[in-house]
C-alpha cells in the first residue's frame, strides 16, 4: 500500500510538471514561427508585418487561428498540426501584447478572447 501511494505521488508530480502552461505554449509557438512564418513576415519577406493592429483586425483569437490554419504558410495552409497553429497563434498574440503572458490559448477559450490594441502594445 505504501509503495502504491508513493508511486501515485510520483505520477502526480510528473504530470504536474508536464502540464501545458502559457510559457511553454509561447516558446513552442516561437519555434513554429521561426521555422514556418518568419521568412515571409520579417523584412525583406513578401508577407505583411504582423503588427498588433493587423492581428487585432481579425477581432477574436479564434478568427486569427482559423485564418492561420487555413491560409498560412501562404499557399500551404493546413500543413501544420492544429496544435502548432494554436501555439503560433498564441505566440503572435503574446508578442503583440494582445493576450497576457499568463494566458493559455485553447480551442475552448479562443472565441472569447477579443483582440484589442492598447497603449502598451508594441508599435512594431
Please report, as ranges, the residues that interact with ligand HEC according to CB under 6 A.
Answer: 36-37, 39-41, 46-48, 50, 54, 57, 67-68, 72-74, 88
- CA 122: distance to chain centroid? 17
Q: How far apart are CA 38 and CA 63, in angstroms?
A: 20
Query: Based on CB atoms, which residue is closest to ligand HEC, 14 or 82?
Result: 82
Query: Based on CB atoms, which residue is closest to ligand HEC, 54 or 104?
Result: 54
First to last CA, the chain: 59
Contact, 73 vs 45, CB < 8 A?
no
**Closest distance between ligand HEC and the C-beta of residue 26, in Å?**
14
**Closest distance between ligand HEC and the C-beta of residue 111, in Å?**
17
**Closest distance between ligand HEC and the C-beta of residue 1, in Å?**
51
Q: What are phi and psi of 91, to 5 degrees?
A: -70, -40
Q: How far apart are CA 61 and CA 105, in angstroms?
A: 8
**Closest distance between ligand HEC and the C-beta of residue 104, in Å?**
18
Query: Based on CB atoms, which residue is closest to ligand HEC, 41 or 95?
Result: 41
Query: Based on CB atoms, which residue is closest to ligand HEC, 36 or 94?
Result: 36
What stretches of 57-119 show up as alpha helix (H) in DSSP? 61-71, 82-95
Amino acid at each position: 500500500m505504501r509503495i502504491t501511494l508513493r508511486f501515485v505521488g510520483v505520477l502526480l508530480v510528473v504530470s504536474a510538471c508536464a502540464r501545458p502552461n502559457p510559457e511553454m505554449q509561447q516558446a513552442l509557438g516561437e519555434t513554429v514561427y521561426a521555422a514556418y512564418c518568419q521568412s515571409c513576415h520579417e523584412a525583406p519577406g513578401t508577407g505583411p508585418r504582423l503588427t498588433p493592429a493587423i492581428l487585432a483586425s481579425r477581432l477574436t483569437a479564434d478568427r486569427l487561428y482559423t485564418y492561420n490554419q487555413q491560409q498560412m504558410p501562404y499557399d500551404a495552409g493546413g500543413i501544420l498540426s492544429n496544435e502548432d497553429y494554436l501555439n503560433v497563434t498564441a505566440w503572435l498574440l503574446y508578442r503583440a501584447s494582445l493576450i497576457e503572458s499568463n494566458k493559455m490559448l485553447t480551442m475552448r477559450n479562443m472565441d472569447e478572447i477579443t483582440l484589442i490594441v492598447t497603449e502598451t502594445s508594441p508599435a512594431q
